[in-house]
A and B are shown apart, each in its own frame.
Chain A
């Protein structure tokens, strides 16, 4: 019982099909996976092996074709689109390779976005956004627009945005894929710190072995199946 409570993500025989013309593509097939609270999991694998597909399923961006998918105590495979949107707002923060900041909003406003979905007062939101931005080391850049930031800074804003509503789970799709080594290291350091100090659970897709090293657990995906599990 206790152990079950510790499981944040549970996939059982998780399958995802896409129709491509009259052909059926199966990026994920009967995948079993459990991720515990507070884990920092890295997913590696060749291009097209289904990493993003799995991440999207876990984050409630996509829905499975078959199998069980329980995340944060909810069977999200069966939620309606609008419920799934609300579930995402409450439980997951998504970090993208290309940051995906809204270009017309400042760093502050970008980070504030998820809080607009809560009924927090403006004042509380401001406090929370400022706190989160200082956590990622960007207190001095709050009113900069994305184009006025470096890639590493943009990714920190994106991490702050994923973090600000205090979700239990962060997912990251090649978060360092577009960064130089130095910026990548500091982003990884930040993610590591979030797991260690703030009890976040992180599932991170990466091609970078150095990034994988930072994670506590490493999984390889190959043609839609999990190949091996190693301790990091």
Chain B
């Protein structure tokens, strides 16, 4: 085996090229880390948003979007009295009638943004148990309550959405009552207001959905209920299934982020191969000499792979620092919410693996181009 120092000193032959190779592989690794972070974030927020104990009652035929669903106002009351096994707190059943809609909001009257609004009653807290009020208090009529990431989703300064501040919802000024957290879920990007306020503001007669929280009851009972009360035109969905469907809907987009990352990575890889070939090619004679001495091709290739792997792992290290510095904490918004990119262990691992893979695979084609020519002519080549 060739000494490790041989690989290291070869790297130092051309520091400019080394730097170029480190940065190139760093770029590839960074791309992969970005794609991994986006995917993790999106899948994470969607899977955390749905609880298997929560059942959404929405309009038959609108199972894929609560925003498009309309159900009768009576649904909540009928469901509450007909369905057994719902969770109860101090004799109040976990039944939350809700309106979900996109509304225009503004902090001053000209800069309008589209926000995800949820009209709720105090019972919403019984079904959405991850929600807790962090500052101020729970929403009352005439007020709104903002998710702690709503400012990011809306592209507003954080100070704009503090308790006591005023925002305009569909042209009506409302006071922010509080800020709520719902860690890891899409709700954190929403704005909640009183159900009746939102209903009259949007001139709706109907609800979007009723969310129930099961205690001893089964999903099948509720499903049966919707089939018995055909007059209500309801469909029942587990909240977790609802978000799984949304996640499936976004799968092509996640695929696109991977594709983009892959394309950029491939381009950089090809450039990197060129760099490596340029680094190895002047050493054809030297590599042939090592073979003449008796080193096997495998031992020599191993040394070349060491060289490239050290380079790409340095690149991965640079990429990780850049990712931690620039990527970590960035909020990415998509239609139903936002999530925060984080350089999690799995993202870091994806980067590390990419770096390792680049080094292992990247050295092989240029390495073989140096190793495969017949020894007599390789020994004659200029070196």
Contacts and interface: CB of A to CB of B under 8 A. Distances in A.
Interface residues of A, number: 27
Interface stretch (B113-121, B287-295, B337-345): B287-295
Interface string A65-104: 0000000000000000110011011100010101010111
Contact of B296 (A85, A98, A109): A85
A59 interface: yes
Given A61-B376, A109-B3, A116-B3, A104 B10 contact: yes
Chain A interface mostly:
helix
Given A88-B292, A88-B294, A104 B1 contact: no
A56 interface: yes
B296 A105 contact: no
A228 B58 CA distance: 104
Contacts of B380: 52
A100 B286 contact: yes
A113 interface: yes
Contacts of B383: 98, 100
Contact of A85 (B1, B10, B295, B379): B295
Contact of B294 (A53, A56, A89, A109): A89
A61 B292 contact: yes
A127 to B, nearest CB: 18
A98 B122 CA distance: 88
Nearest to B13: A104
B157 interface: no
B72 to A, nearest CB: 81
A38 interface: no
Contacts of A156: none
- Determine which residue in B285, B289, B296, B380 has the highest number of CB atoms from chain A within 10 A of its CB, and name it: B289
A104 B383 CA distance: 13
Interface in A102-129: 102-105, 109, 113-114, 116-117
A86 B376 CA distance: 17
Nearest to B11: A104
B374 interface: yes
A200 interface: no
A215 B30 CA distance: 63
Interface in A40-73: 52-53, 56, 59, 61-62
Given A53-B376, A62-B376, A102 B294 contact: no
B6 interface: yes
Given A61-B379, A82-B296, A104 B9 contact: yes
A161 interface: yes
Contacts of B291: 85
A94 B376 contact: no
Given A102-B6, A104-B9, A116-B2, A161 B293 contact: yes
B383 to A, nearest CB: 7
B375 interface: yes
A226 B279 CA distance: 42
A105 B12 CA distance: 12
Nearest to B286: A102
A56 B376 contact: yes
B152 to A, nearest CB: 52
Contacts of A81: 297
B151 to A, nearest CB: 56
A102 to B, nearest CB: 6
Contact of B1 (A86, A94, A100, A116): A116
B293 A113 contact: yes
A62 B373 CA distance: 12
Contacts of A61: 292, 375-376, 379
Interface string B298-337: 0000000000000000000000000000000000000000
B357 to A, nearest CB: 27
A81 B292 CA distance: 11
Contacts of A53: 376
- Determine which residue in B1, B12, B285, B294 has the highest number of CB atoms from chain A within 10 A of its CB, and name it: B294
A94 B293 contact: yes
A117 B295 contact: yes
B375 A94 contact: no
B374 A62 contact: yes
Contacts of B1: 116
A59 B379 CA distance: 13
B288 to A, nearest CB: 8
A62 B375 contact: yes
A173 to B, nearest CB: 9
A161 B297 CA distance: 20
Given A88-B292, A90-B294, A105-B9, 16 more contacts: A52-B376, A56-B375, A56-B379, A82-B297, A86-B296, A89-B293, A89-B295, A96-B379, A100-B285, A100-B286, A100-B292, A104-B13, A109-B3, A113-B295, A116-B3, A161-B293
- 8 nearest A-B pairs in the assembled complex, by CB-CB distance: A89-B294, A104-B9, A100-B289, A88-B294, A61-B375, A62-B376, A56-B376, A94-B292
Interface of B: 1-3, 5-6, 9-10, 12-13, 285-286, 289-297, 374-376, 379-380, 383
Interface of A: 52-53, 56, 59, 61-62, 81-82, 85-86, 88-90, 94, 96, 98, 100, 102-105, 109, 113-114, 116-117, 161
15 contacts: A53-B376, A61-B292, A62-B376, A85-B294, A85-B295, A86-B294, A94-B292, A96-B289, A104-B10, A104-B12, A109-B3, A113-B290, A114-B294, A117-B293, A117-B295
